[in-house]
Amino acid sequence: MSAILIKNCAAMLTGARHAPRSPARDIRIRDGVILEMGELTPQADERVIDARDCVAYPAWVNTHHHLFQSLLKGEPQGLNQSLSAWLAATPYRFRGAFDEQTFRIAARIGLVELLRSGCGTVADHHYLYWPDMPFDGAAVLFEEADALGMRFVLCRGGATQTRGLESDLPTALRPEKFDAWMADVERLTAKYHQPGTQAFRQVVMAPTTTLHSTTPQELRESARLARSLGIRLHSHLSETVDYLDAARAKFGMTPLQFCAEQEWTGEDVWFAHLVKLLPEEIRLLGETGSGIAHCPQSNGRLGSGIADLVALEAAGVKVSIGVDGAASNEAADMQSETHAAWLLQRARKGMLAKPRYEGGEFEGGGDAATIEDVVRWGTAGGAQVLGLTGTGTLAPGQAADIALYRLDDPRYFGLHDIAIGPVACGGRAYLKALLVGGRVAVEEDRIPGLDLAALGRQAQEAVFTLQRRAGVRG
């Protein structure tokens, strides 16, 4: 409906840095945009959503995901591995087992899981490409996101060289030709990309890794093509110390220095992870206005470490939060991710504190990040990284991307500040409603038209299919 009034919110976190909480209790929406906030009287043409006992947040903006991995949760061979061994054991081993149907089911599962956590915008780093692909994964992703009413950013991944693998590769692990890859980016941009700060569909240039997936010349050419097309740039970087070692060995410089030399820093660039950074790299990221997609649960699950968001933001880096793939994050939703981000920034600061006898002041890390910081990173921060700055905050003129959480589970009983519940208490809150562009995508904790039980059965069958194709013995 084009006219909606959200009435009687118990609290609102806005996602804004300077006014993170709003005293308003009502939000008026017209044609997908927030018209006004305050104490408002219903009008005759409005649908009223009673948000009594609910907390209002901007819808989450997830800036890094791998949706195909939604069918690879808890895969045994990769469960207790670090990054390199996990890549070989799980994503690379199963990638050739996907066909269009299993890929579609995986995408649907991931998007549904995100939507039910209050996420309205998803940037998927889709790198499941090989020569002569039998299906168009990009089309599937856009179709599934559109069916659920979500904003979707396709980060078109790919590689022109392998990562130390032998030359006789199965088809699904063979690299693409650079010209074919760039031609597909141009095709996708022409077909799907929408300009504007409230776009529902966008395309991004996104080699799987900057250090390993292309040559330096190709990396420069990809950056130039992206900017000529008016699209942004994204990749993995500095997830582990191996990135530092590889950059020194291959190029004689740090990973960030290498990226800067290939024109891969700037206001239109963001990187996933950035766990292992040198101080000069943090300065360079900040000076160039580059961004981060922080993935705390995946980084913890793979034993990679904890990115220093506090130092990065202080240096001027744009901070956002991403879920990463479900094969390294079995709770692939934004409520779980923001809860982890809040805890782990505090844990990181506490781990680095020195006792007084070593010249430090042992004060712990309880003040490292507030709930308001985490909400901002997961909403406005993500919108800024993606260039969708007409979304991500609760304010007049912004897109009506709004999550209403009803905190009626015992998990939230006894809260002194109800506003912090969706992040501080963890778990998944009851979603009274989720609006994306003023359209109701979730209502009373249900996605209209979705049979969750049927999706669960499809998922189970798809897992068996993937296991069989990958040669897993039952």
Per-residue pLDDT of the chain (474 residues; tens, 9 = 90+): 589 999 999 999 999 999 999 999 999 999 999 999 999 999 999 999 999 999 999 999 999 999 999 999 999 999 999 999 999 999 999 999 999 999 999 999 999 999 999 999 999 999 999 998 999 999 999 999 999 999 999 999 999 997 654 456 688 889 999 999 999 999 999 999 999 999 999 999 999 999 999 999 999 999 999 999 999 999 999 999 999 999 999 999 999 999 999 999 999 999 999 999 999 999 999 999 999 999 999 999 999 999 999 999 999 999 999 999 999 999 999 999 999 999 999 999 988 877 767 666 656 789 999 999 999 999 999 999 999 999 999 999 999 999 999 999 999 999 999 999 999 999 999 999 999 999 999 999 999 999 999 999 999 999 999 999 998 875
Dihedrals phi, psi of 384, to nearest 5 degrees: -65, -45
Spatial contact of 5 and 48, defined as CB atoms under 8 Å apart? yes
Instruction: Provide the Cα torsion 455, 67, 128, 451; round to 10°.
Output: 20
Spatial contact of 41 and 25, defined as CB atoms under 8 Å apart? no
Instruction: Provide the Cα torsion 351, 300, 331, 10; round to 10°.
Output: 30
| Whether this model's pTM surpasses 0.95 | yes
Architecture of domain 60-385: Alpha-Beta Barrel (3.20)
Local structure of 71: helix, strand or coil: helix
Dihedrals phi, psi of 13, to nearest 5 degrees: -105, 130
**Sheet holding 11-13: strands in order across?**
21-22, 11-13, 54-58, 402-406, 430-436, 439-443
Provide CATH 3.20.20.140 ranges for the chain.
60-385
Provide CATH 2.30.40.10 ranges for the chain.
3-57+392-443
* Answer CATH for 3-57+392-443 from 2.30.40.10, 1.20.1440.230, 3.30.2010.10, 2.40.10.120: 2.30.40.10
Q: Which two tokens stand for residue 408?
A: 């009626």
